[in-house]
Amino acid sequence: MSSVQIYDTTLRDGSQAEGISFSCEDKIKIALSLDKIGFHYIEGGWPGSNPKDLDFFSLIRSHSLKNAKLAAFGSTRKASLAAENDPSILAILDSGVQVATIFGKSWDFHVREALGTTLEGNLAMIRDTVAFLKSKGLEVFYDAEHFFDGCKANLAYALKTIEAAQEGGASTIILCDTNGGSLPLEIKEFVELAAGRLSLPLGIHAHNDGDLAVANSLVAVQAGAVQVHGTVNGYGERCGNANLCSIIPNLTFKCGLETIPRENLAHLTELSRFVSEVANVHPDTRQPYVGMSAFTHKGGVHVSALLKDYRSYEHLPPELVGNRRRVLVSELSGMSNMLYKYKELNLQVDKQSPEGKRVLEEIKNLENQGYQFEGAEGSFELLLKKAYNGYIEPFTLEALRLMIDVKQDGTAYSEAIIKMRVGDRVVHTAAEGNGPVNALDNALRKALESFYPCIRSMRLTDYKVRVLDEKDGTGAMVRVHIETGDGHSSWGTVGVSENIIEASWQALADSLAYGLLKGDNLEQKKDDKEE
Ligand SMILES: CC(=O)SCCNC(=O)CCNC(=O)[C@H](O)C(C)(C)COP(=O)(O)OP(=O)(O)OC[C@H]1O[C@@H](n2cnc3c(N)ncnc32)[C@H](O)[C@@H]1OP(=O)(O)O
Ligand SMILES: CC(=O)C(=O)O
């Protein structure tokens, strides 16, 4: 089986993405995880650019990489300096890497306008920068910046630039679609042309400005490239780089090529989420292969076929890339969605069950009122449990009073007084909060903690309000979505009302009721205590 080398530039081109700034420690952590999954090359940064990248190359030396070779990035020498006198080139040598990746200009327009030098001068810059680094024992990859735009503008010159890199002793020439605007057939044409002119292996480095970076990388491989540059989650300058989380499974499972070890692909989702966590970027739920929605099914027709055979609506099994199948319940559900959920909850219900049909009807009616059960699995499961005999509510509300006192200086004070029934006991508590919902949450917890101590470990992690019908102004219906966690798992709950406090109460009460139900926490209920 032929193989393709995976070259990661998350730490260099990925950090050129708006909103991303890795610390040196972040870069080390990411490099180690890229190495662990089996990437062949990791571009750690541009040592001539900033002290953080210099520190990275110095610190990474105390870690031994098992699979990857580390590359340092840089440009061809300055037009006015010899390579051996150019501080940026010397910084690559000092970084201690085995591989230098040097970018140079392929587009005559760029040579004249951006570099301000002659076409011949640029060829010399490419040739001697590569030759100098090679003479110092480094393997040199040559990134032909703007190669495809260069071919369109002045084909003969673009080809001369990569020949200059070959003459200098580069070991691989990477053809870059730097502005990311090329189409797959253009990529194919110029990769084939370059392959016909050079005796060296080719690589591809594609940007995503036309939303084609993954497609362009795959076409380049089909046209002969054997090294693919990209980043985890496609992070990168402007619209990003080619997304390795899509390219690797496409090359492996669809093209039958060897990339990283097959068994390691089962860690791809974990890698994607780890890098998004370190980058402090919310994971893209719709990201192919590794996104939370990549194998999530909503439409009733889809789920019905899926239950018969997963291949009906999945292009490959999610486990291959470490992702998982999910089924949503909503107004677009049929009984098949419900059956899937019942099975997850170990409930024996068949397709003709009147209770099952009643719950489905109730969900459709509630969604029509503004509820959304997709992200509210806690409220959904409570609804199911309530439809079947045997569910005893862990607490019920008897009365609730909220006070909001706004002082002259505009600061507000909130207090909630709550009367709850737990079994045959009634408890009465009051609590303050920095707002009415916080006061409500505090009073509810205070009332229940002595009965259910495990409530102390449940934390509200997100609280969102969505106005459902803006035209009704402050009288509009609102949907409150709450996310709660207990350190082991998290769950969503939902409430809908024209009154934001009522909607918040529904979501809050569901969040604790579900937290109690979920881990058999109801059994922890202490002996009732009258107050
Ligand atoms: C396609 C890519 O993504 S390439 C990577 C882009 N990434 C970055 O630019 C991030 C890191 N960059 C930096 O830290 C800085 O830009 C540095 C340290 C490299 C240079 O900083 P400065 O010396 O202040 O120059 P400045 O950033 O203003 O301009 C870039 C210079 O590089 C020159 N240059 C651009 N490409 C090349 C090249 N292939 N070979 C030689 N010089 C080049 C430009 O002509 C310009 O030179 P000039 O100042 O004489 O006009
Ligand atoms: C080298 C590089 O990052 C580019 O051409 O896009």
Residues 6+ apart with CB under 8 A from 272: 232, 233, 245, 283, 287, 290
> Which ligand is the nearest neighbour of the Cα of 51?
1
Query: Ligand 1 centre from 76 Cα, in Å?
Result: 10
Q: What is the pLDDT of residue 531?
A: 37
pLDDT tens across 4-51, in order?
Answer: 999 999 999 999 999 999 999 999 999 999 999 999 999 999 999 999
Residue 74 pLDDT:
98
Is 530 a residue whose pLDDT tops 70?
Answer: no
Question: Smallest Cα–Cα separation from 24: which of 278, 283, 280?
Answer: 278
- Residue whose tokens read 């509510």: 393
Atom 10 of ligand 1, residue of closest alpha carbon: 49
Asked whether the predicted pLDDT for residue 352 surpasses 70, the reply is yes
Q: Which residues line ligand 1 (CB under 6 A)?
A: 13, 16, 46, 48-50, 75-76, 78, 103-105, 114-115, 145, 178, 237
Task: State pTM to two decimals.
Answer: 0.89
Taking the CA of residue 237 as reference, the ligand 1 atom at the shortest distance is 3
**Domains and their CATH numbers in the chain:** 5-260 (3.20.20.70), 296-387 (no CATH), 396-524 (3.30.160.270)
The ligand minimizing its distance to the Cα of 142 is 2
Please state whether beta strands 5-8 and 227-230 pair in parallel, antiparallel, or not at all (unpaired). Answer: parallel
* 229 φ/ψ sector (left φ>0, alpha ψ -120 to 50, else beta): beta
Sheet with 478-485, strands from edge to edge, namely 459-467, 478-485, 490-497
Pocket of ligand 2 contains residue 205 by CB under 6 Å: yes
With a CB cutoff of 8 Å and minimum separation 6, the contacts of 474 are none
CB-side exposure of 521: number of CA atoms within 13 Å? 21
The CB density around residue 278, as the number of other CB atoms within 10 Å, is: 19
Q: Which atom of ligand 2 has the smallest separation from the CA of 101? A: 1
Write b or e for each residue in 453-465: b if 16 or more Cβ atoms lie within 10 A of its Cβ, otherwise e.
Answer: ebbeebebeebee
The per-residue pLDDT for range 418-433, each reduced to its tens digit, is 999 999 999 999 999 9
Per-chain mean pLDDT for the chain: 94
Ligand lying nearest the CA atom of residue 149: 2
Which of 1-5, 167-171, 280-284, 380-384 reaches the highest mean pLDDT? 167-171
